[in-house]
Amino acid sequence: MQRDETVTPPLSIQQQPELVLIELLFYAYRDFVSDPDVVLAKFQFGRAHHRVVHFVNRHPGMRVADLLDILKITKQSLGRVLKQLIDTGYIEQVPGPVDRRQRLLYATAKGRALDQRLTEPQAERIRAALAPLGPEGRIAAERFLRLMIDPAERDKVAQMIEH
């Protein structure tokens, strides 16, 4: 009994050249996000904690709703890891000065130190990748990745990144 493998050819790069970038994205991201795992393990934290402490550190005083909008997860999912980070002193909450329903989020010194340790190996990977490329290579990589973001999100993301 023969397999039906010749009925339709499997996806090939020739017929679908986007496969190269699709797969490169997978492999690159796979290795990129594994960098901080060693550090995370020492702190008994996971990748979710990394994301939270990072974005809070990058946007001091951000609202919980802002963080949810970046991470695209539910408040219950966020709540769990956020609570752990607050209880262990990596993040603190401050009532919003104008709207006191808000709990503005700040990384503590401890939280900033953690974020820096987590970010360091990723930054090193980026530097190593950019080294052989020159400034135009960097610009091109940034431009491509920006265009990979949902159009409706692009301006918001651009503003958050530039500061």
Q: Which helix (H) or strand (E) holds 94?
A: strand 91-95
Q: Which is nearer to a copy of itself, 83 or 143 (CB)?
A: 143
Select from 38-46, 77-85, 95-103, 134-142 the region that touches a copy of itself (CB under 8 A).
134-142
Cα dihedral 161, 64, 38, 120 in deg (nearest 10): 30
HSE-up of residue 20 (Cα within 13 Å, Cβ side): 4
- Report what 136 binds from a copy of itself, DNA, none; CB cut-off 5-8 Å by kind: a copy of itself
CB of 37 to DNA, least distance (A): 10
Q: Which is nearer to DNA, 73 or 157 (CB)?
A: 73
Name 62's bridge partners.
Answer: 105
Residues 106-125 close enough to bind a copy of itself by CB under 8 A: 106-109, 112-113, 115-116, 119, 122-123, 125
Query: Residue 41 interacts with a copy of itself (CB under 8 A)?
Result: no
Q: Which is nearer to DNA, 92 or 129 (CB)?
A: 92
Q: Which is nearer to DNA, 16 or 93 (CB)?
A: 93
CB of 31 to a copy of itself, least distance (A): 5
For binding to DNA (CB under 7 A), which residues are involved?
A: 44-49, 51, 63-65, 71-83, 93, 96, 98-104
* Contact yes or no for 103/93 (Cβ under 8 A): yes
Alpha-carbon separation of residue 117 from 96, 148, 158, 161 (angstroms): 29, 28, 25, 20
Say how far apart CA 13 and CA 20 lie, in whole Å.
7
* Contact yes or no for 124/105 (Cβ under 8 A): no
Q: Which is nearer to DNA, 121 or 129 (CB)?
A: 121
Say how far apart CA 138 and CA 89 lie, in whole Å.
36
Residues 7-26 close enough to bind a copy of itself by CB under 8 A: 7-8, 10-13, 16, 18-26
